[in-house]
Amino acid sequence: MRRFKKSVSVALSAAMVVSLAGCAKSETGDVAATVTEENTEAVTEETTQEVAKGQQTSTVIQESSESNASEEAIAELLSTYEQDSESLVFDSSAWNYDAENDVYWQIGVGYCSNPETTDYETMGIYVPGAYMTGVENGDGTYTCTMNTEGEVAGYTAETAPIVFPVNTAGYSAQAAPTAYSYNSISQYLESGFIYVYAGMRGGMGMNNSDSSDSSGTTYETAKDYIDSLNADGEWITYDEATNTASITSIADFVTHCKSASKNVGAFDDLDRGQAENMLFGNDESDALHFDPILASLLIQNEAEYSVYAEWDSSYAEAYESDLTSVDKFGNTIEERMNMYNPMYYLSDYYEGYETSNVATYWRIHTGITQGDTALTVEANLALALKQYEGVESVDFATVWGQGHTTAERTGDSTTNFIAWVNECVGQ
């Protein structure tokens, strides 16, 4: 199988969003911020198609009848949908109060009219006590109203940033909170932030094999460190006088720092074995193919690939069949990929350009040695954001010596994130 996989040359890409955050000011001046505290992969297969535009001689094309079928499925679903608005009314008389730390909180708050599972589709809301005026109900709960005069770290109830953490490594689900714990949220609340932890369903769990090693070696001089990197052959030259270093070639850098962690086929594995295949599964199949470029290559080059003992003629057929699949809401594979691809909304190459409300401020920090994607993935995302009208700031950094993790040059991700939000709010 290895010989066959090596013979297939295909460019795939994915957005490796590690320690990525976006925040935007509302018309009232409030700031909503999203922070990814764990490793998150967002598949952007469509990004590659921009590069490949005009180069494909054949591809799997979905007929217009399939598009019509998708629209009919959505129409049928909506015709039978009944909105339970009553279940979405927020209960201001159900607050709990942590007197020791001065925090009002609620868990089990529903945000879906008809949730698939309340284990995931509810949320917890945590508010600094200074922002609320609470009256005891006599049963341990409180009825609260907003206190616009209270202040924490320079923020009020009207100006406090609202944080929505996303801890979904490997497309895993994020369980809704079932108990109150101050320690895990203290740093945000003490900084004047409102913290909203929403559960969400996911594709699957995945062990992260490309995380950074927390252990390290201390070197007396920069030259000693460079010498250690050149232990297997010189690929970095160092000028002690200017304290600058340069690499001999991009190829040498990739060899030493960017070893690919996935086989050819990458995210859309020939045998549907990757987490991304699970991500695009539906009610009929746990895992599905989703890459039209790879499907096209298999079809075009079948004669060449068939000489290998590992070749299976069913590969091309499987891709072709899977690419016509829809989910329970009638969304096609292409539509679902677009939802996962930030470039779909940021680049005028795509129909989704300017159809999304893009955050004003962004923070993207990645580890340079992560091998799941090329450096161009996060660089392209940062460049697209910088060119997008309405985006005022993109804090982009690739951190040396770190992998597929919350990558920071100094300090920790939570402290740095809070400082970054405060900076954004002050702009």
The answer to the question of residue 69 being in a domain is: no
What residues make up the domain containing 233? 222-257
372 versus 195: the higher-pLDDT residue is: 195
* 279 and 407 belong to one structural domain: yes
Does the pLDDT of residue 54 top 80, yes or no?
Answer: no
CA separation (Å) from 272 to 90, 311, 320, 326, 384? 42, 15, 13, 17, 31
What is the tens place of the pLDDT at every residue in 162-206? 999 998 887 888 999 999 999 999 999 999 999 999 999 887 544
Indicate whether 277 belongs to any domain: yes
Average pLDDT along the chain: 83
Mean pLDDT of 24-51: 45
CB-based contact 231:249 (threshold 8 Å): no
Burial of 252 (C-beta count, 10 Å sphere; 0-12/13-18/19+):
middle
Asked if 275 and 206 count as a contact pair (C-beta separation under 8 A), the reply is yes
- End residue of a domain, out of 257, 279, 305: 257
- Token look-up 């020939």 returns 270
370 pLDDT band, cuts 50/70/90, is confident
- Among 46-50, 321-325, 397-401, name the one with the lowest average pLDDT: 46-50
Sign of the four-CA dihedral 173, 176, 178, 181: positive
In a shared domain, residues 239 and 366 = no
- The residues that bridge with 236 in the sheet, in sequence order, are 247
What is the pLDDT averaged over residues 282-288? 94
Q: How would you classify the pairing of strands 361-367 and 393-399?
A: parallel
User: pLDDT value at position 169?
Assistant: 80
Q: Please, which pLDDT band fits residue 305 given cuts at 50, 70 and 90? A: very high
Q: In the 8-state DSSP scheme, what is residue 422?
A: H
pLDDT at 386 (0 to 100)? 97
Q: How many structural domains compose the chain?
A: 3
Same domain, 305 and 232: no
Q: Is residue 236 part of a domain?
A: yes
Extended beta strands in 199-240, E state: 236-239
The DSSP line for 141-191 is -EEEEE-TT--BTTB-TTT-EEEEEE--GGG--BPPP-S--STTTHHHHHT
Same domain as 236, residue 250: yes
- In 3D space, the residue among 270, 268, 288 whose CA is nearest the CA of residue 278 turns out to be 288
Identify whether residues 252 and 358 lie together within a single domain: no
Which residue, 213, 159, 22, 177, is CA-closest to 105? 177
Q: What is the pLDDT of residue 224?
A: 93
- From 164, 182, 198, the end of a domain falls on 198
Q: Is 203 among the domain residues?
A: no
| DSSP symbol at 43 | E
pLDDT value at residue 13: 27
How far the first Cα of the chain sits from its last, in Å, is 55
- Last-in-domain residue among 238, 257, 276: 257
b or e along 156-186 (b: 16 or more beta carbons within 10 Å of the residue's beta carbon)? bbebbbbbbbbebbbbbbbbbbeeeeeeebe
Q: Report the alpha-carbon distance of residue 405 to residue 17 in Å, rounded.
A: 9
Say whether pLDDT at 76 is over 90: no
Residues 111 and 11 in one domain: no
Compute how many other C-beta atoms are within 10 angstroms of the C-beta atom of residue 215. Answer: 5
* Same-domain check for residues 181 and 53: no
Are 137 and 100 in the same domain? yes
Q: Is residue 400 part of a domain?
A: yes
Spell 403-418 as b/e; 16+ CB within 10 A means b.
bbbbbbeeeebbebbb
- 209 within a domain of the structure (yes/no): no
Q: What is the pLDDT of residue 405?
A: 85
Q: What are phi and psi for residue 319, nearest 5 degrees?
A: -60, -45
Q: Is 205 part of any domain? A: no
The reply to whether 206 falls in a domain is no
Q: Note whether 104 and 142 are same-domain residues.
A: yes
